[in-house]
């Protein structure tokens, strides 16, 4: 049975774990050849091995998306290897420190913005020209539920993700008539290494934190990376051919409150 993305080429940044890894695996399951990028070499290479173990095609490129030259090299290698670029998930991101606005350090602010927002823009800056040459493509940018509402203690993260939503909407308008669809996915709390890091930093409060997260979720639980990946793949597929410029909340109902 043919996959939804047969013959397509997909690029995933932050593909070494969590939502990025699950999305890379979902792209491959649906027939796409996958380019996996991450600063985590071990994680990225493991994702490639997982794809290959299921009969898929993939390769890894070590990439820091906050560095323009590395992003340029990534996209050029993807196109040189597979001949085209049909789908891109610009997913690489960091959380940074939990500090309120007046306590957020300049270093923390700059690092988060550089990766989460500038990194998405740098990726789109390189992806879009190739998609224009081939007559179209689909881009999904990873935002957050905190790109739709604020979050106490996460000023830089929330600002970066709000920026991703705005950038997504702008690019969607600019390239709609050129056959390039640009959307954002806004996950709620998901069981990923980012959440695990928070819990490890406060082991005595881990259970309390988990329960607090669940209490804030109308659906009563955290999401799974695979659930976010399904939204990403759908947005990149022809099933979403009339969808562009949306910021899709995949968050168990969090932002509806």
Among 146, 157, 175, 234, the active-site one is: 157
Distance separating alpha carbons of residues 45 and 165, to the nearest angstrom: 30
What are the CA-CA distances from residue 226 to residues 18, 21, 151, 156, 230 (Å)?
Answer: 9, 9, 24, 26, 6
- Catalytic residue flag (residue 175): no
* DSSP letter for each residue of 160-191: HHHHHHHHHHHHHHHHGGGTEEEEEEEE-SBS
Distance separating alpha carbons of residues 243 and 63, to the nearest angstrom: 29
Torsion of CA 216, 220, 226, 232, to 10 degrees: -50
Contact 33, 9 (CB under 8 A): yes
Distance separating alpha carbons of residues 160 and 152, to the nearest angstrom: 14
Contact 10, 59 (CB under 8 A): no
Distance separating alpha carbons of residues 57 and 47, to the nearest angstrom: 11
Contact 198, 231 (CB under 8 A): no
Contact 150, 174 (CB under 8 A): no
Q: What amino acid positions are annotated as catalytic residues?
A: 157
């Amino acid at each position: 049975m043919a996959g939804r993305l047969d013959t397509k080429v997909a690029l995933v940044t932050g593909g070494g774990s969590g939502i990025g890894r699950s999305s890379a695996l979902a792209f491959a399951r649906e027939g796409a050849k996958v380019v996996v990028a991450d600063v985590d070499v071990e994680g990225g290479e493991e994702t490639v091995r997982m794809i290959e173990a299921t009969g898929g095609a993939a390769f890894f490129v070590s990439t820091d998306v906050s560095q323009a030259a590395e992003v340029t090299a990534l996209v050029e290698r993807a196109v040189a290897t597979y001949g085209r670029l049909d789908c891109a998930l610009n997913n690489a991101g960091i959380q940074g420190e939990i500090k309120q606005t007046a306590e957020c350090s300049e270093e923390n602010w700059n690092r988060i913005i550089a990766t989460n927002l500038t990194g998405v823009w740098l990726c789109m800056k390189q992806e879009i020209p190739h998609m224009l040459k081939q007559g179209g493509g689909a881009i999904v940018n990873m935002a957050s539920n905190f790109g739709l509402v604020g979050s106490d203690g996460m000023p830089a993260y929330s600002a970066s993700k709000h920026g991703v939503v705005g950038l997504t909407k702008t690019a969607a308008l600019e390239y709609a008539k050129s056959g390039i669809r640009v959307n954002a996915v806004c996950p709620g709390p998901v069981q990923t290494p980012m959440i695990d890091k928070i819990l490890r930093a406060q082991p005595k409060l881990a259970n309390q934190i988990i329960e607090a997260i669940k209490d804030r979720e109308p659906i009563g639980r955290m999401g799974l990376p695979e659930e976010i990946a399904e939204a990403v793949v759908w947005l990149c597929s022809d099933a979403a051919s009339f969808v562009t410029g949306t910021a899709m909340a995949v968050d168990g109902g969090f932002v509806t409150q």
